[in-house]
Structure 1
Amino acid sequence: MTYPVAATADTPQIRFNKVPEVTPYFWAIKIMATTVGETGADYLIFKMGLGLQMTSILMAVVLVAILIWQFRTDRYTPWVYWLAVTMISVVGTLITDSLSDGYGVPLGVSTAVFIVALIMTFAVWYLREHTLSIHSIDTPAREGFYWLAVLFTFALGTAAGDLLAERLGLGYLPSTFLFGAAILVVIGLWRAGIIGAVTAFWLAYILTRPLGASFGDFLSQPLPNGGLGLGTTTTSLVFLGVILALVGYLTLSGVDREDNARAE
């Protein structure tokens, strides 16, 4: 593992942050990755005919391989990072679907369980590292907490989004607007100084998952189910194409990379 560059007696260790700067590109790709997680999982299960269990196993194996790759990089690398986010989006969706469809766990229970799991992750992370800032993801431990929190946000967002849109009958588009409004409230609270930047970031990060999932379902689901009927294939391919274009731009431009690394 290569987090710090090798140090000598005359040179300090240099730590590079492993996640991107929070820019409009960050939120755009994150929301689209969320949508791909929702529609992509459905595509593999139903269109490819793999079934829920086989899809879950295969995607979990792929995710582990990608995270190993991500951990072995010594700094933020757009292609690797966003590949990990997209795959975690798929796996987070599959975890919730497996609980509800495979084991009959009510979505309300899944939502509560993932809320508790996320709170516990943040609590242990803060007690150990004294920060939850994504500007300091520069050690293996912090990166481990970060990706665990990200996984729980995706699983939680899937459960909460499905609970509102399907079980409670709110519908996909109204759910999209509801979660979008909630994000605007978070932004307003942050700008008013009521909540800090770190709290605002994680609240928005959590809410963008059900936002993207509800929007993805709205685009892909048939008209009788409250969607536009574009299908999972078209929706997944369109969003994947935009993600690839944006990640390519970020790789070439470096606009979402931190200018300064930490020296110790």
Structure 2
Amino acid sequence: MTTTTTPENPTAARQLLNKVPEVTIWFWVIKILCTTVGESFADWINMNLGVGLINTALIFTAVLAGVLGWQLSTKRYVPFVYWLTVVVVSVTGTLYTDILTDSQGVPLALSSSVFACLLALVFGIWYARERTLSVHSITTRPRELFYWLAVLVTFALGTATGDWTLELTGWTPDVSVLLPLGLIVSIVFAWRLGANAVLSFWLAYILTRPLGANLGDWLGSPSSDGGLGLGTAATSVIFLAAILATVLYLTFSRRDVIETSAPTPQALNPARERIMLGYYAVVAVAAAALLVWAHQQPHAAATSEEDGPAPTTVHLTPKQATSSFPPAEIAKFRTIASDTLTKLNSGDQAAATTRVTDLETAWDDDQPTLEPKNEQAWNFLDGEIDQVLTALRAPNPDKATEVKALDTLLSSLN
């Protein structure tokens, strides 16, 4: 969808060639690919490299600063640089939301509200200064900076609202894809009927974040959780390859290059735009009503390693917890947990955190074969392993809590 409204008068700032791509179908395809990578790649790094959520966010903040500096230094739109920046912004925005939720315990409802207010503030200042929010007018340095700040906040907002939706509804990944997809379709419909193009663009831009994240969860989650079981690593590789192929195509075809630095005039119909605003209000109310209805239905709360330990409703003895599983597998988990405790007791927190990642990987890899043997026992041990992971990956780990979690797990495994 195009976002042109009316021509703006040039600002006093130095004029540049437009630094963003034309909004074509290719724009939306690659944007969704980038958001999926943002979700799956952030999860993979945080869970498998053992550096911790906050350290991962700091690393990607530094990477973002470098990549964004590269993007700002270009004189025109360069597909590879632009979309590399979007991918890094996607990962970084996801990590910021995860820090608030997982490390600081901020409720998703609150973080969603904060990010929504922050985005409104960014748009308000941007419009007050530049008198336009159109991506066809990113022709000055201030507009380019406002644009990337808005993009970063939309990723954080989309992550928070998407996770909040899952928390409210308990939907499986395959079902959760349908809501943002349906809302995007309704926006395209409204745009075709005369809704404000700039408003429609930014609404769709925000919604592609939960759509891409839910798509990534669907592909990466195990089949027992309603996913396709590809894993976060495979999902990241597949989508990064698709992004690279699309970027190469756009680089050579120049299908998404805005040839002029000034926007093309577009006839406006204020009356129709007002009608479409009413339509958007109705869609928003309908979506809220659907979420309220889904929240009231019986469902299990969505949980993951990042959400903290799943509630354990029954306590099992070691024999009850392990007798259904192959002794060799239990011995493997016990060895890793024991190694982790040894490293922790020797004062090597970093090595213990790295070693516990092996426990997480081994447990997740064996889930398809172990869980069907005894779902109750698997859930019990899964909850205890989650407690260990949470304790060792806390922003400020407490040794007593870590030792207690490992002792409890080892007691069950013995």
In the alignment, what sits opposite 1:256? 256
- Please say if residues 63 and 87 of structure 1, whose CA atoms lie closer than 8 Å, have aligned partners that are also in contact: yes
Tell me whether 1:220 sits opposite 2:220 in the alignment. yes
Displacement of 1:258 after TM fit? 1.2
Counterparts in 2 of 1:170 and 1:76: CA distance versus 1, 3 Å: same
Cα distance in 2 for residues equivalent to 1:169 and 1:86? 28
Aligned in 2, Cα 1:104/1:136: closer, same or farther, shift over 3 Å?
same
* CA–CA distance in structure 2, aligned partners of residues 232 and 48 of structure 1: 13
2:107 aligns to what?
106
Higher RCO (C-alpha 8 Å, min separation 6): 1
> Could you say what secondary structure the match of 1:260 adopts?
coil
- Which amino acid in structure 2 is aligned with residue 218 of structure 1? W
2:138 corresponds in structure 1 to 137
Cα distance, 1:226 vs structure 2: 2.7
CA distance in 2, matches of 1:127, 1:173: 41
Q: Which residue of 1 aligns with 2:185?
A: 184
Distance 2:32 2:118 in 1: 22
Task: Give me the whole-angstrom Cα distance separating, in 1, the residues matched to 2:113 and 2:102.
Answer: 17
Secondary structure, counterpart of 2:146 in structure 1: helix
Q: Secondary structure at the match of 1:20?
A: coil
Pairing 1:238–2:241 present: no
Q: Which residue of 1 aligns with 2:155?
A: 154
Percent identical across equivalent pairs? 52
Structure 2 contact 15–139 (Cα < 8 Å) conserved:
no
> 2:202 matched to which residue of 1?
202
- Superposed CA RMSD in Å reads 1.4
Say if 2:136 and 2:262, in contact at 8 Å, map to a contact too: no
**Is 1:100–1:106's contact at 8 Å kept on the other side of the alignment?**
yes
TM-score (norm 1): 0.92
CA distance in 1, matches of 2:52, 2:224: 24
| 1:250 alignment partner AA | L
* Displacement of 1:252: 1.1
**Contact conserved, 2:137 with 2:261, CA < 8 A, in 1?**
no
Displacement after TM superposition at 1:223 (Å): 2.4
Report the Cα distance in structure 1 between the residues aligned to 2:219 and 2:125, rounded to whole angstroms. Answer: 38
1:115-170 alpha-carbon deviations (Å, 9 max, x no partner): 11111111110000000000010111001110011001100111111111245312
TM-score (norm 2): 0.59
Deviations 1:68-96 (A, max 9, x none): 11111111110100000000000010000
Q: Output the amino acid matched with 2:75.
A: D
Once the 2 structures are TM-superposed, how far is the Cα of residue 262 of structure 1 from its aligned partner? Answer: 4.3
Alignment correspondent of 1:59: 60
Q: Gaps (5+ residues) in structure 2?
A: 1-13, 264-414
Q: Secondary structure at the match of 1:15?
A: coil
Structure 1 runs (4+) deviating above 3 angstroms are: none
Aligned-partner Cα distance in 1 for 2:116–2:166: 18
Equivalent residue number for residue 6 of structure 1? none
- Deviation of 1:225 after TM superposition, in Å, equals 2.8
Asked which structure has the greater CA Rg, the reply is: 2
Alignment size in residue pairs: 250
Corresponding residue number in structure 2 for 1:33:
34
Instruction: Report what 1:170 is aligned to.
Output: 171
Q: Deviations over 1:39-89 (max 9, x none)?
A: 000110112222211111101100000001111111111010000000000
Amino acid at match of 1:220: G
Which ranges in structure 1 are unaligned for 5 or more consecutive residues?
1-12
Q: Which amino acid letter does the alignment assign opposite residue 57 of structure 2?
A: S
Q: Which moved more, 1:253-262 or 1:15-24?
A: 253-262
Q: Secondary structure at the match of 2:164?
A: helix
Answer with 93-102 or 247-256: which moved more.
247-256
- Structure 1 Cα separation of the partners of residues 62 and 240 of structure 2: 21
d(CA) in 2 for partners of 1:33 and 1:46?
20
Q: Partner of 2:267 in structure 1?
A: none
The aligned amino acid for 1:178 is L
The 5 A counterparts of 1:57-136 are 57-136=58-137
1:15 aligns with 2:38: no
Moved more, 184-193 or 139-148: 184-193
Tell me: CA distance 1:14–1:155, structure 2 relative to 1, closer, same or farther (3 Å). closer
Contact kept, 8 Å, 2:33 with 2:212, in 1: the verdict is yes
